Structure 1
Amino acid sequence: MVKKSVNALLLEQLNGGNAHVDFNQAVQGITYKQAGISVEGVPHTIWELIEHIRIAQDDILEFCKNPEYEEMEWPDEYWPESSSPNSEVELQASVEKVREGIDEMKSLIRNSEGELQKVFTHGEGQTLFREAMLIVDHNAYHIGQIVLVRRLLGSW
């Protein structure tokens, strides 16, 4: 067995699919109408979950890149205002932004030059490693919720 670097392992985790479905599998074939359906007893629609992943991921990336980062207000600024997208175009744009965010974090890791554990000059001790793992963990949690909602809707 070949020993992998921490960078390689992080990139693998961001790709997803090791222990569960990845983001692309979770949203494959979902329509904008399905994305906005509320399921009784479930707190969020698929749209809300996709948008929440996007918003949180964008915030994490902004923190990693911007020493002047300003914290968003929890929880209000981390969830969409609407429970459903206005169109298929809006849904697909959000899905694509999630994919782009994952790619951007992968790029930050590739360009980290072995400095994954270097503490950011801003924040409270966060490192690129920690922020990458936050994306992996956060996305996995909500991807599981998307799959659950899809199963409850009979679209999985």
Structure 2
Amino acid sequence: MTTKEVLLKQLSACLDQPNWFVPLSAAIEGLSAKEASYKSGTANSIWQIVTHLTFWNDRYLKRFKELPISQTHIANDETFSTNESVTEKDWQSAITALQNGLSEWIKALEECSEEKLLSSAYLEQMEPWSSVISNLTIHNAYHIGQIVEIRKMYGLWDSKNGVH
């Protein structure tokens, strides 16, 4: 199996292919805007996690495609922000943005060369894109697990979707 095939399998597992963990599609299935906004103390809501994942997936995808990035620096805490609106339309837009971003990553990987995956993702240091994308998938998997745990905490998880 090539590096590209491994990364494609990981991204697909994050998006919608059940594997060792619940994919995003199952983690957010049937969740309302109100439920996605629930917060406990200083913990992030599911909606905030979705916003955070969208930000980082999109940012690195733009870098991978060598497209301009609007902000050069942003504090990680700022990537969890959401607007005050808690409408179903806004929630569906947030979900769609994340799913589209992951789908775009899959497409970009399918179209890239192995050489691209071996090239450095950074100017200042040598870290190949393959390593960066692997870390991106780990980041997605981590937060998808948080979404499932938050749903369990609020009694919003059906174990038929996986993870008892």
TM-score range, shorter chain: 0.7 to 0.9
Listed as ranges, the gaps of 5+ residues in structure 2 are: 158-164
Asked if the contact 1:32–1:85 (Cα under 8 Å) also holds between the matched residues in 2, the reply is no
Q: TM-score, normalised by structure 2?
A: 0.82
The yes-or-no answer on 1:15 pairing with 2:16 is: no
Q: Deviations over 1:102-141 (max 9, x none)?
A: 1111122111122211124745334331232122111111
Unaligned runs of 5+ in 1: none
Q: Is the 8 A contact 1:39 1:153 kept in 2?
A: no
Structure 2 counterpart of 1:55? 55
Give the Cα–Cα distance (whole angstroms) in 1 for the partners of residues 141 and 5 of structure 2.
18
Aligned to 1:80: 81
Q: Which has the higher helix share?
A: 2
Match of 2:161 in 1: none
CA RMSD of aligned residues (A): 2.1
Q: Helix, strand or coil for the counterpart of 1:43?
A: coil
Distance in 2 (CA, whole Å) between partners of 1:121 and 1:21 is: 31
The farther-off stretch of 62-71 and 99-108 is 62-71
Q: How many residues matched?
A: 151
With over 3 angstroms needed to count, the CA separation of the structure-2 counterparts of 1:86 and 1:64, relative to structure 1, is: same
**Contact 2:49 2:143 survives alignment (8 Å):** yes
Q: Please state if 1:106 is matched with 2:129.
A: no
TM-score by length of 1: 0.85
